[in-house]
């Protein structure tokens, strides 16, 4: 079986500037450059993105919102308490969304194709009509909508960023064709993502929230995956797996309070690759979100790329050895809320 891993990245992602001291700082793109260069030297294809088109953006964002963001071209603007533009941000955000679309195009172009888009700014907090939480365009939502418009009947988005992806959830909450699954610290920014938020109308049951108490360790996430996330994914049977890959649940991350090891990110990614192997011929697109400790970001990006580039194998979960029942509590709450829709 031919395997193909493509990395979609450009050093231009550093041109999205933020105020001094802001966590979403351009050095994150420089870390991505180093990791991408390392994998390129090992034979992984690295391609630059092209900008997302207006048609692609309009699948998830309002036209009026696109106009407001386009008016930031050439200017530094504060869009919300956390979200800033520099003169180049609009162009760079279009490249980030375009990279996510390209990752989907690569994954959908044949069996055993995986792609990672190393992008900034992140996307999962961006709502249909509002920039939020460092995010301008919802990269992953744009990618999922693109997949749906190009032949994917069912798309699963899994988001292991430490923050809940409010924007992604809201964009697809009434759509049974796009499953949104999130693990996140809760309660925490942005405030959404309670276990009882399961989707609406025809989309009821197709939003899966596993809110974890601060301090969760590797074993807690393993429990969330084995008790809730993997059972739902195996019943949903996606045609494409998209991963919102944020690394801010890492134990080194300065923004949040989770205690995941680098190996846990490889394990979660390996579990999702397994889902893709079983249900959709390995088709998987990974798009970066948060991750604010540069050392943890580099190590985690490397581990995730390694997981996607090597031969498929059972996910190897690390042991923290810390006693914690946060995972069990979260899994029970999620399973209770979702039991009308899925078997556990
Ligand atoms: Zn985050």
Separation CA 217–CA 258 (nearest Å): 7
At 251 the pLDDT is 98
Place of tokens 């793109």: 29
CA-wise closest residue to 248 among 237, 239, 240, 260: 260
> What is the distance in A from the centroid of ligand 1 to the CA of 314?
27
At 1 the pLDDT is 47
Which residues are the active-site residues?
Answer: 125
29: CB partners within 8 A, 6+ apart: 11, 13, 14, 16, 120
> What is the distance in A from the centroid of ligand 1 to the CA of 18?
16
> What is the distance in A from the centroid of ligand 1 to the CA of 300?
14
At 55 the pLDDT is 98
State whether residue 127 is helix, strand or coil.
Answer: strand
Are the beta carbons of 181 and 205 closer than 8 angstroms?
Answer: no
Residuewise pLDDT in 10s, the chain (344 residues): 457 899 999 999 999 999 999 999 999 999 999 999 999 999 999 999 999 999 999 999 999 999 999 999 999 999 999 999 999 999 999 999 999 999 999 999 999 999 999 999 999 999 999 999 999 999 999 999 999 999 999 999 999 999 999 999 999 999 999 999 999 999 999 999 999 999 999 999 999 999 999 999 999 999 999 999 999 999 999 999 999 999 999 999 999 999 999 999 999 999 999 999 999 999 999 999 999 999 999 999 999 999 999 888 899 999 999 999 999 999 999 999 999 999 99
241: CB partners within 8 A, 6+ apart: 156, 158, 233, 272, 273, 275, 276, 280, 283, 284, 285
Separation CA 325–CA 329 (nearest Å): 6
77-80/83-85 β-pairing: antiparallel
> What is the distance in A from the centroid of ligand 1 to the CA of 313?
28
Separation CA 248–CA 260 (nearest Å): 9
Report the predicted TM-score, pTM, of the whole model to 2 decimal places.
Answer: 0.98
């Amino acid at each position: 079986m031919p395997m193909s891993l493509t990395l979609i990245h450009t050093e231009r992602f550093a041109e999205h500037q933020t105020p001094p001291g802001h966590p979403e700082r351009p050095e994150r793109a420089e870390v991505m450059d180093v990791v991408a260069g390392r994998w390129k030297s090992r034979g992984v294809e690295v391609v630059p993105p092209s900008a997302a088109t207006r048609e692609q953006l309009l699948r998830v964002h309002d036209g009026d919102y696109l106009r407001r963001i386009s008016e930031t071209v050439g200017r530094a603007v504060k869009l919300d308490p956390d979200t800033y533009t520099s003169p180049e941000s609009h162009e760079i955000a279009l490249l980030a969304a375009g990279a996510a679309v390209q990752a989907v195009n690569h994954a959908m172009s044949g069996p055993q194709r995986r792609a990672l888009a190393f992008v900034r700014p992140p996307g999962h907090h961006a709502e249909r009509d509002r920039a939020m939480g460092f995010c301008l365009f919802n990269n992953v939502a744009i990618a999922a909508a693109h997949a749906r418009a190009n032949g994917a009947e069912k798309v699963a988005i899994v988001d292991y960023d430490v923050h809940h992806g409010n924007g992604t959830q809201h964009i697809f909450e009434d759509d049974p064709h796009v499953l949104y699954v999130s693990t996140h610290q809760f309660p925490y920014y942005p405030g959404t993502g309670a276990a009882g938020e399961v989707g609406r109308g025809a989309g009821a049951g197709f939003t899966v929230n596993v809110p974890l108490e601060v301090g969760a360790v590797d074993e807690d996430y393993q429990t969330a995956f084995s008790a809730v996330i993997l059972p739902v994914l195996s019943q949903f049977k996606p045609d494409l797996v998209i991963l919102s890959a944020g690394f801010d649940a890492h134990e080194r991350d300065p923004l949040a309070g989770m205690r995941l090891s680098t190996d846990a990110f490889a394990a979660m990614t390996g579990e999702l690759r397994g889902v893709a192997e079983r249900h959709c011929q390995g088709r998987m697109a990974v798009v970066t979100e948060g991750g604010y400790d540069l050392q943890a970001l580099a190590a985690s990006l490397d581990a995730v790329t390694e997981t996607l580039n090597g031969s498929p194998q059972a996910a190897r979960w690390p042991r923290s050895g810390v006693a914690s029942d946060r995972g069990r509590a979260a899994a029970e709450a999620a399973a209770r809320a979702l039991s009308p829709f899925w078997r556990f």
